[in-house]
Amino acid sequence: MRVRPRRNRKNQLIRNMVEETLLRPTNLIYPLFLLEGNLGKQAITSLPGIFRMNLNDLCQEVEASIAVGVSSFVLFPAVPEKYKDKTATYSVQADNFYLEAVRQLKVKFPEIVLMSDVAMDPYSSDGHDGYVEDGNILNDRTLPILGNMAVAQAQAGFDIIGPSDMMDGRVGFIRDALDDKGFENTSIMAYTAKYASAFYGPFREALDSAPKGGDKKTYQMNPANKREALIEATLDEAEGADFLMVKPALCYMDVIQSLKTHSNLPIAAYNVSGEYAMLMAACEKGWLDYELAMPEMLLSLKRAGADVILTYFAKDFGRLYNQG
């Protein structure tokens, strides 16, 4: 036998030398759930270890994350029912607790990267990402609402705007709205290939944001489709997106790879709540070894082509990374 691949695996130094993929804490974005006011930390049953937090508690989590090398965060507001209405008006109130929190975070931690969520669902009495009329999600009626939301978020200090709504034309609409107001340096991470997935369940529990009627299949993509993701990618890129995202991540690694080949933009993958829940449940049962399985899962997403990974494991990955 002349060819013996095992020679390149014979000791740790050689294995390190030929390692193809490297995942660092700086590649990660850590999702955080924000509570209004001074409410205490609230556990989320289906997301063990993840909490809804008031701004003070959230600042502590940010500090602990920075200490292990994770300095990028995506913020989601847990909006009380009383603020929700048909047009998501609370989302653009300049003094709402979400925008206020960003202003304060930016003062306290000027060096961090903060990403927003643009979609109507956390603020909508219908629980849909777009404007609902007679059971239909009206695309073009939704765009100005998203544009105003994005501008309010840029004004508050977000570095990256994250449209997660899947309306047609929203990246271009948001880009124009931002540029119009002088926010040409505010980035957009487009949720490009966002699938109508069962793996968002725990997130909807966290934000109490499940649709009140129907499902999201007229705007989120069919899990059966991959080529369609390329249509979305071409549009988002032409409309001015700075990053293209695939969501969920684990069941969609072929889509991540496909976008990576198709586009020269950085590719992000959202390792969603249900994927976190799945691994945590297996580890709690003792069926998987957390400290081995978790980094393997994240590394695999990077290998598939994700430059950036949004994950609830971010802080813990940072901790393990620093322990070597």
Residues that bind ligand PBG (CB under 6 A): 117, 119, 121, 129, 164-165, 200, 203-204, 216, 272-273
Cα separation of the two ends of the chain: 36
Nearer CB in complex with ligand PBG: 42/262: 42
Least distance from C-beta 119 to ligand PBG, angstroms?
3
| Least distance from ligand PBG to the Cβ atom of residue 103, Å | 22
Considering the complex, what minimum distance in angstroms separates the CB of residue 211 from ligand PBG?
8
What are the distances in angstroms from CA 72 to CA 113, 131, 160, 214, 308?
A: 5, 30, 10, 34, 10
Helix (H) or strand (E) holding 316: helix 314-322
Residue 247 catalytic?
yes
Minimum separation from the CB atom of position 105 to ligand PBG (A) = 19
Catalytic residue among 84, 216, 247, 260: 247
Can you give the C-alpha Rg of the chain in angstroms?
20
Out of 194, 216, 260, 302, pick the active-site residue: 194
In the bound state with ligand PBG, the residue whose beta carbon lies nearer, of 76 and 321, is 76
What is the DSSP secondary-structure string of 276-315?
HHHHHHHHHTTSS-HHHHHHHHHHHHHHHT-SEEEETTHH
Return the SS3 of 30. strand
Query: What residues does 43 pair with on adjacent strands?
Result: 51
**Shortest distance in whole angstroms from residue 165 CB to ligand PBG:** 6
**Choice between 110 and 255, CB closer to ligand PBG:** 255
Residue 285: CB partners within 8 Å, gap ≥ 6? none
The 8-class DSSP code of residue 118 comes to B
Residue 205 DSSP SS3: helix
Between 270 and 321, whose beta carbon lies closer to ligand PBG?
Answer: 270
Q: Which is nearer to ligand PBG, 208 or 262 (CB)?
A: 208
Catalytically active residues, by annotation: 194, 247
